Amino acid sequence: MTARQTVRTEPTAPPAPRDPRSPAARELAARFAAGDESALADVYRAWGALVYTIARRSLGDAGEAEDVTQNVFLAAWRGRKGFDPARGVLSAWLVGITRRKVADALSARTRRGELAATAGSLLLLEDRRRTSEPQLVLDRVVVRQAMATLTEAQRRVLSLAFYDDLTQTQISQVTGWPLGTVKSHTRRGLQRLSLCLRDAEVA
C-alpha cells in the first residue's frame, strides 16, 4: 500500500491522544519518523480531523480543505526525516505543515483570480476585434503596449503559458529556470498586464 492510498480525504477518526507528549503519542511519532506505513495511517486517524478543520476554516471550501489535508499528510510522510520525535511534538509539526499548505492554496487561488481577470480582459479585446477593422488595429496596439511594459522574462513566461498552453512546470523545463522563478515571473507579469489592460479599458 502506498502513502497516497493510505491517506484519505475524509477523516473520520477516533480522537487524537489527549496528551501529545504521552508515551502512546511519542511511540506513534517514533514509528512515523522511522517510516512505518501503518503509523502513517494511525497518524492520519489521530490528527486528520484536526488538519481538515484548520484547512476548512481557513479556506472556507470543503473541497480545497480535503485537498490540503491529503497534501499535508503526503508532505509529512515524504519529509518525515525532518521530524525529530525527541525535539518536537508530531501534532504541532503537522499543524505547521498545514499552515504552509493553506498559504499555498490561498496563493494559488489568488493566481487563478489574476489569470481569470487577465483572460477576461483579453476576451473583451477579442470581442471588440470582431466589431470593426479600426478597432482591431487599436486592440493590437493596446496588447503590444501592455506586453512591452513587461520584462523579457515575464513576456516569455506568459507567451508560453497563453499561446503554447504550457503549465508552469513545463515552462520551467523549457526555459531551464527554477519553478519558483517561473511562478514569480508569472505572478508579476500577470499583475502588470492586468493593470495595463484595465487602464486601457478606462481610457
Could you report the per-residue pLDDT of 41-68, keeping only the tens digit for each? 889 988 899 999 999 998 888 888 898 8
* More reliable by pLDDT, 202 or 35: 35
Is the pLDDT at 12 greater than 50? The verdict is no
Query: Hey, what domains does the chain have and what are their CATH numbers?
Result: 3-106 (1.10.1740.10), 131-202 (1.10.10.10)
Please give the model's pTM, rounded to 2 decimal places.
0.51
CB 44 within 8 A of CB 11: yes
Q: Would you state the cell numbers that stand for residue 148, as one nine-digit string?
A: 512591452
Per-residue model confidence (pLDDT) at position 97: 93
The CA distance from 71 to 156, in Å, is 31
Per-residue model confidence (pLDDT) at position 10: 46
Q: Would you state the cell numbers that stand for residue 117, as one nine-digit string?
A: 481577470
Residue range 115-153, pLDDT digits in tens: 555 555 554 445 544 444 444 434 444 566 677 788 899
Residue range 146-202, pLDDT digits in tens: 777 888 998 888 888 777 777 778 888 999 999 889 888 888 887 777 776 665 554
The CA distance from 11 to 63, in Å, is 13
Q: What is the average per-residue pLDDT within 23-28?
A: 86
